[in-house]
């Protein structure tokens, strides 16, 4: 067991000793759990604000990985670092490594466009384009040069089916996506992300703006999607993390307190703060 | 405890004469609004009635079909196309020059410039939009025309290209500033959606931001073109006073506004055909800008992307 005092000193000693990431060490390590993302001592600053401190994590293929933690602890910053969207904020500075399939994403060999084509993103607030449902979903393929109507038709239908919204919109593909409900818009955004057949899908609190029924639909969807994709999802909803994820990382004040199989995090966490947080005592 | 009661105080204040002010305000505002509407109606009434007077003396058919505008002498001919062509040449040159430059500036400011650069350039644009047009007129004849003549000697002192370019310079800040407003008001979440799909900044600008801002951008262009059509000082100074319907941009011409200035500052005898022709020309100007506005409203409706 690691108590709070120890955990703090360990993380303060940046770089030397960092809490181990048990989700993929020891007994859980096995051949099938191939990593898609690994971070090595990753740090991020907004100006003087040290928002992410020595992050060492690993996320596996065909799993749903949840990131939980109180507001402002750096969850969004972290997932946006994974596809380099965080660099849109001019004052951001980073240090350390993020490996996507063993390639450093900050290396010049990989452009941000390539990375983001492989690593799609679904945002907190549904953000469809002010275009037709069809054009929304076809956007990614078109941007990457796919023009054939027949292929686009197929891709649009398949993505909408995979996002579990085909039946609701198949008769109105040419209507503006803004005419849909929030839950439907979010599934359109998921379909839009699926259309380029990415490898990893990042989701930043994808259900926080949705009603309970839509939330259930999106959660079921994550479960379906992990057969073909790897999903990293930020959530402030503990039940959601418990329901949908294979592993859970608990972020607190910019560092990772604990990352383990979801069952362990919720039933038998090593750190007192994790236990306090998942049992709802703070956050 | 305190010796006052908020509810009582509110009651007392409510019963004050505030109610009278409250009631009279809409009336006052209505009167103020009416003044501007009445002024517009008055101007329109004058334009129409005097134009009708003109057409009772001169042929309407000649007016709208002929390209010969020779309003003086014993046998005058009033063919509006000479003046309309003058206006259109200047406006076309101005638009062709100003729209790409203005939109380019707007795209740079809204999609590429840092916050600091934007904070410096945006107010400068707005100041530029406030320069009196007579200054632009001097600039055209004293600077642009000589420079153009040095590379293209056939250009005469008064010409369409110099006036057109400078009218273009005059409307660039308007297009840039208003289009930038329209583009900046496109929510960032849409740019993120596009960039997050692996689109480049340029693709995001052209496929997401511009279409989403299109109604504001068209509105800014229409406003700018309407200003170019109505622009008077620059063309009076730099374009000359030779009505003709040729397509030549190197020689002297006269625009509708230029004609109106020339005659109103000259000596058109009250009640003469020349005098009434001013109103017919004014009416033509009005119809042109009015049509522009209708077309732009139609385009905006057709291409608007609602969000
Ligand atoms: N665009 C930004 N500019 C400056 N600081 C930011 C920005 N976004 C987030 N931060 C800071 O980074 C920290 C982590 O924020 P965030 O990643 O949004 O947390 P979470 O998603 O866990 O609520 C906070 O201290 C926040 O103030
Ligand atoms: Mg967040």
- Report the CATH number that the domain containing residue B219 is assigned in CATH: 1.10.3720.10
Q: Cα(A129) to centroid of ligand 2, in Å?
A: 21
Q: How confident is the model at residue B14 (pLDDT cuts 50, 70, 90)?
A: confident
Rounded to a whole number, what is the distance in Å from the CA of A120 to chain B's nearest CA?
Answer: 6
Indicate the number of domains in chain B: 1
Name the residue of chain B whose CA is nearest to A86's CA: B192
Whether the CB of B113 is below 8 Å from some CB of chain A: the reply is no
Rounded to a whole number, what is the distance in Å from the CA of B191 to chain A's nearest CA?
Answer: 9
Pairing state between β A103-104 and A58-60: unpaired
Whether the CB of A125 is below 8 Å from some CB of chain B: the reply is yes
Q: In this complex, do B190 and A130 lie within 8 Å of one another by their Cβ atoms?
A: yes
What DSSP line would sit under chain A, residue for residue? -B-HHHHHHHHHSTTTS----GGGSGGG--TT--EEEEEEEEEEEETTEEEEEEE--EEETT-EEEEE-STTSSHHHHHHHHTTGGGGSTTEEEEEEEEETTEETTSTTS-HHHHHHHEEEE-SS----SSBHHHHHHHHHHHTT---HHHHHHHHHHHHHHTT-HHHHTT-TTSBGGGS-HHHHHHHHHHHHHTT--SEEEEESTTTTS-HHHHHHHHHHHHHHTTTSEEEEE-S-HHHHHHH-SEEEEEETTEEEEEEEHHHHHHS-SBHHHHHHHTTS--
A201, A204, A207, A208 alpha-carbon torsion, rounded to 10°: 180
* Token output for A138: 């076809």
What DSSP line would sit under A68-96, residue for residue? E-STTSSHHHHHHHHTTGGGGSTTEEEEE
Burial code (b: 16+ CB inside 10 Å, e: under 16) for B151-178 equals: eeeebeebbbbbbbbbbbbbbbbbbbbb
Q: How far is CA A93 from CA A96, B154, B200, B247, in A?
A: 11, 59, 21, 58
* Token output for B32: 């103020």
Distance CA A256, CA B217 (A): 47
Q: Which of A42, A44, A55, A76 gets mutated to test ligand 1 (max ligand atoms within 8 A of its CB)?
A: A76
**pLDDT tens-digit series, residues B74-115:** 889 999 999 999 999 999 999 999 999 999 999 999 999 999
* Token output for A278: 């998942």
Contacts of A134 (CB under 8 A, 6+ apart): A156, A173, A174
CA angle A175, A181, A187 (to 5 degrees): 85
Distance CA B116, CA B186 (A): 20
Interface test with B, best of A86, A110, A112, A113 (most B CBs within 10 A): A113
Give the per-residue pLDDT at A281.
80
Instruction: Look at residue A189 and tell me if it is in a domain.
Output: yes
| B234 touches B158 (CB < 8 A) | no
Give the per-residue pLDDT at B300.
81
Q: How far is CA B160 from CA A267, B122, B221, B255, in A?
A: 82, 30, 21, 10
Q: In this complex, do B196 and A143 lie within 8 Å of one another by their Cβ atoms?
A: no
Instruction: Look at residue B140 and tell me if it is in a domain.
Output: yes
Instruction: Look at residue A117 and tell me if it is in a domain.
Output: yes
Pairing state between β A230-234 and A64-68: parallel
Q: Give percent of chain B above pLDDT 70.
A: 98
Residues around ion ligand 2, judged by CB within 5 A, are A 76
Rounded to a whole number, what is the distance in Å from the CA of B158 to chain A's nearest CA?
Answer: 48
Q: In this complex, do B189 and A121 lie within 8 Å of one another by their Cβ atoms?
A: no
Complex ipTM > 0.85 = yes
**DSSP structure class, residue B60:** H
Q: Which residues of B touch A192 (CB under 8 A)?
A: 193, 197
**pLDDT tens-digit series, residues B235-294:** 999 999 999 999 999 999 999 999 999 998 887 788 889 999 999 999 999 999 999 889
Distance CA B108, CA B110 (A): 6
- Domain range for A167 is 4-278
Give the per-residue pLDDT at A15.
37
Low-confidence ranges of chain A (pLDDT < 70): 1-32, 283
Instruction: Look at residue A283 and tell me if it is in a domain.
Output: no
Q: In this complex, do A83 and B196 lie within 8 Å of one another by their Cβ atoms?
A: yes
Instruction: Look at residue B221 and tell me if it is in a domain.
Output: yes
- Domain range for B147 is 77-303
Instruction: Look at residue B18 and tell me if it is in a domain.
Output: no
| B79 touches B66 (CB < 8 A) | yes
Whether the CB of A267 is below 8 Å from some CB of chain B: the reply is no
Pairs of CB atoms within 8 A across A/B:
74
Q: How confident is the model at residue B12 (pLDDT cuts 50, 70, 90)?
A: confident
Whether the CB of A174 is below 8 Å from some CB of chain B: the reply is no
Give the per-residue pLDDT at B16.
66
Whether the CB of A1 is below 8 Å from some CB of chain B: the reply is no
* Token output for A279: 């049992």
Indicate the number of domains in chain A: 1
Rounded to a whole number, what is the distance in Å from the CA of B183 to chain A's nearest CA?
Answer: 14
Instruction: Look at residue A49 and tell me if it is in a domain.
Output: yes
What predicted TM-score, i.e. pTM, was given to this entire model? 0.84
Q: Which residues of B touch A121 (CB under 8 A)?
A: 192, 196
Q: Give percent of chain A above pLDDT 90.
A: 80
Give the per-residue pLDDT at B13.
76
Instruction: Look at residue B27 and tell me if it is in a domain.
Output: no
**pLDDT tens-digit series, residues B204-242:** 999 999 999 999 999 999 999 999 999 999 999 999 999
The CATH number of the domain where A226 resides is what? 3.40.50.300
Distance CA A141, CA A197 (A): 9
| B305 touches B212 (CB < 8 A) | yes
């Amino acid at each position: 067991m690691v108590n709070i005092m120890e955990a703090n000193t360990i993380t303060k000693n940046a770089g030397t000793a960092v809490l181990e990431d048990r989700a993929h060490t020891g007994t859980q390590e096995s051949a099938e759990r191939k990593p898609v993302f690994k971070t090595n001592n990753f740090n991020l600053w907004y100006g003087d604000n040290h928002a992410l401190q020595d992050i060492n994590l690993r996320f596996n293929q065909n799993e749903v990985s949840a990131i939980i933690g109180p507001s402002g602890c750096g969850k969004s910053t972290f997932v946006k670092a994974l596809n380099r969207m965080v660099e849109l904020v001019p004052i951001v500075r980073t240090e350390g490594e993020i490996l996507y399939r063993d390639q450093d994403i900050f290396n010049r060999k990989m452009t941000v466009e390539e990375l983001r084509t492989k690593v799609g993103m679904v945002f907190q607030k549904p953000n469809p384009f002010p275009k037709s449902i069809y054009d929304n979903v076809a956007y990614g393929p078109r941007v990457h040069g796919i023009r054939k109507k027949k292929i686009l038709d197929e891709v649009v239908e398949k993505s909408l089916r995979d996002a579990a919204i085909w039946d609701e919109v198949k008769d109105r593909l040419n209507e503006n996506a803004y005419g849909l409900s929030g839950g439907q818009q979010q599934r359109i955004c998921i379909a839009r992300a699926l259309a380029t057949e990415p490898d990893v899908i990042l989701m930043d609190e994808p259900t926080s703006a949705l009603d309970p029924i839509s939330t259930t639909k999106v959660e079921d969807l994550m479960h379906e999607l992990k057969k073909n994709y790897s999903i990293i999802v930020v959530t402030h909803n503990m039940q959601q993390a418990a329901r949908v994820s294979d592993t859970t990382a608990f972020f607190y004040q910019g560092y990772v307190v604990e990352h383990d199989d979801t069952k362990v995090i919720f039933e038998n966490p090593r750190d007192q703060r994790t236990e306090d947080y998942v049992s709802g005592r703070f956050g | 405890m305190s010796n006052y009661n908020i509810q009582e105080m509110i009651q007392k204040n409510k019963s004050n004469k505030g109610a009278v002010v409250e009631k009279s305000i809409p009336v006052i505002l209505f009167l103020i609004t009416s003044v501007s509407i009445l002024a517009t109606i008055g101007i329109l009434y004058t334009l129409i009635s005097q134009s009708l007077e003109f057409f009772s003396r001169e042929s309407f058919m000649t007016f709208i079909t002929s390209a010969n505008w020779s309003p003086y002498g014993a046998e005058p001919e009033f063919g509006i196309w000479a003046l309309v062509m003058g206006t259109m040449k200047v406006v076309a040159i101005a638009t062709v020059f100003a729209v790409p430059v203005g939109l380019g500036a707007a795209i740079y400011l809204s999609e590429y410039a840092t916050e600091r650069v934007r904070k410096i350039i945006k107010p400068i644009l707005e100041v530029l939009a406030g320069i009196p047009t007579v200054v632009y007129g001097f600039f055209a004849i004293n600077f642009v025309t000589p420079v153009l003549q040095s590379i293209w000697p056939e250009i005469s002192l008064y010409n369409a290209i110099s006036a057109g370019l400078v009218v273009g310079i005059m409307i660039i800040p308007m297009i840039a500033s208003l289009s930038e407003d329209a583009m900046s008001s496109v929510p960032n979440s849409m740019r993120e959606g596009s960039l997050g799909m692996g689109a480049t900044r340029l693709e995001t600008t052209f496929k997401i931001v511009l279409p989403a801002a299109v109604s504001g951008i068209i509105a800014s262009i229409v406003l700018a073109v309407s200003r170019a059509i109505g622009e008077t000082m620059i063309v009076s100074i730099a374009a000359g006073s030779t009505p003709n319907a040729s397509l030549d941009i190197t020689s002297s011409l006269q625009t509708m506004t230029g004609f109106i200035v020339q005659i109103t500052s000259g000596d058109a005898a009250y009640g003469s055909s020349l005098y009434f022709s001013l109103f017919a020309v004014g009416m033509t100007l009005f119809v042109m800008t009015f049509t522009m506005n209708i077309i732009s409203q139609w385009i905006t409706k057709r291409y608007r992307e609602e969000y």
